Amino acid sequence: MKEFQKDLIDWYVKNHRPLEFRLKKDPYEIWISEIMAQQTRIEAMLPYFKRWIKELPDIHSVANCDDEKLNKLWQGLGYYSRCKNIKKCALECVEKYNGKLPQTKEKLLKLSGIGPYTAGAIASIAYGQRVSAVDGNVIRVFSRIYDIHEDVTKTSVKKKIEKLVDDSLPSKEEISYYNQALMELGALVCIPKNPRCESCPIKKYCDALDPASLPLKAKKKARKIEYKHLYIWVYKNKIHVVKRADTGLLAGLYGFDELKPEKSIESIELEPYVHIFSHIEWHMNATLCIVDMEDKNYKEIEEIEEHIALPSAFMPFFNQVKEIVYGKSRN
């Protein structure tokens, strides 16, 4: 096992991406980056991360930030419930830990929005705790190393792999590099469809006869399809936006009306759009309704762009409306 650890860490030292939040080993930055990177490639996440850290450099600043600004900083990453949990977690850290993240995986797991992987990443990378950090990359690496032909989405199989990872852990002095090395190997070499086995530093330890076929996963259920028609009310260069219900998809965020205004001067049909969530597809049509009266829910286009977190599900319609409104104002 020591040779395995050494080969992997040596490869990591020479080949890792210079990710600032990991090199600094700042627990706050590791936490934010790992939450942002869930279901988002690190390269795509980095601009959002840098913007967030510039505006909110520590846990106290998150705890004191209003929800609208937090949502705006999160805009584009989706899964806004994660942003809500970051705020909850920050408040818990201020209340219980003087604005710091606790050092053990066990305590981290008790905080809002922090699961086993994120807790393990913070505890091992930032604090040098000898604990595992098992994400999808690590599951893929170990399912191939041990040639595991079982459904990795099953809890029992996940636990089996976690045990194998736990048994492979090096000393506290090497744990930070080791866990990061496993993550990097899965991200750069032991990739999902076409693993780069010829470049793998631990291929001599791998039992997989057909690495590309692993890990095994149960076939996903077909996504449910929901049909929606939006009505985007426009008064001059202002757009009517409404806050969505506190439950359900995109809860508490801003969106457009699903009812026609009582009176329209002009109606324009917009290009339809399909937005895919993890379990649901929204097949949407939209009508731009130009009206001659406004209320407090109408916002300037610039205000929406600068201050309101409009979910990506609605952005194609917002961009179409913006072009039409600005085109009319120039004519």
For residue 39, the model assigns a pLDDT of 86
For residue 42, the model assigns a pLDDT of 93
Angle at 42 between CA 86 and CA 214, to 5 degrees: 105
155-175 burial by CB neighbour count: b if 16+ within 10 A, else e?
A: eebbebbbebbeebbbeeebb
**pLDDT (tens digit per residue) in 39-93:** 899 999 999 999 999 999 999 999 999 999 999 999 999 999 999 999 999 999 9
Average pLDDT over residues 280-294: 97
Does one domain contain both 134 and 281? no
Q: Alpha-carbon distance 177 to 175, whole Å?
A: 6
Q: Alpha-carbon distance 161 to 180, whole Å?
A: 17
Q: What is the 8-class DSSP label of residue 151?
A: B
**pLDDT (tens digit per residue) in 117-148:** 999 999 999 999 999 999 999 999 999 999 99
Does residue 219 sit within a domain? no
| Averaged pLDDT score across all residues of the chain | 95
Q: What is the 8-class DSSP label of residue 125?
A: I
Does one domain contain both 20 and 152? yes
Does one domain contain both 228 and 94? no
Q: Could you say which of 213, 242, 269 is where a domain stops? A: 213
Does one domain contain both 64 and 173? yes
Neighbours of 64 (CB within 10 A): 12
Q: Which residues, listed in sequence order, are joined to residue 288 by a DSSP beta bridge?
A: 232, 268
Mark out the alpha helices in 189-314 (DSSP H runs): 301-307
Q: Could you say which of 165, 181, 213 is where a domain stops? A: 213
Our count of domains for the chain comes to 2
Q: Alpha-carbon distance 237 to 286, whole Å?
A: 18
CATH number at residue 52: 1.10.340.30
Q: Alpha-carbon distance 44 to 36, whole Å?
A: 10
Q: Which residues, listed in sequence order, are joined to residue 281 by a DSSP beta bridge?
A: 225, 276
Does one domain contain both 141 and 11? yes
Does residue 331 register a pLDDT over 50?
no
Does residue 218 sit within a domain? no
Residues of the domain holding 51: 2-213
Does one domain contain both 205 and 229? no
For residue 328, the model assigns a pLDDT of 63
Does one domain contain both 65 and 170? yes
**pLDDT (tens digit per residue) in 297-316:** 999 999 999 999 999 999 99
Task: Establish whether 55 is a catalytic residue.
Answer: no
Residue 215 near residue 150 (C-beta atoms within 8 A): no
Does one domain contain both 197 and 137? yes
- Phi, psi (5° rounding) for residue 195? -60, 140
Does one domain contain both 283 and 155? no
Does one domain contain both 47 and 180? yes
Q: Considering 29, 34, 92, 184, which one is annotated as catalytic?
A: 34
For residue 220, the model assigns a pLDDT of 86
For residue 329, the model assigns a pLDDT of 55
Does one domain contain both 293 and 156? no
Can you say whether the dihedral through the CA atoms of 176, 30, 180, 131 is positive or negative? Answer: positive
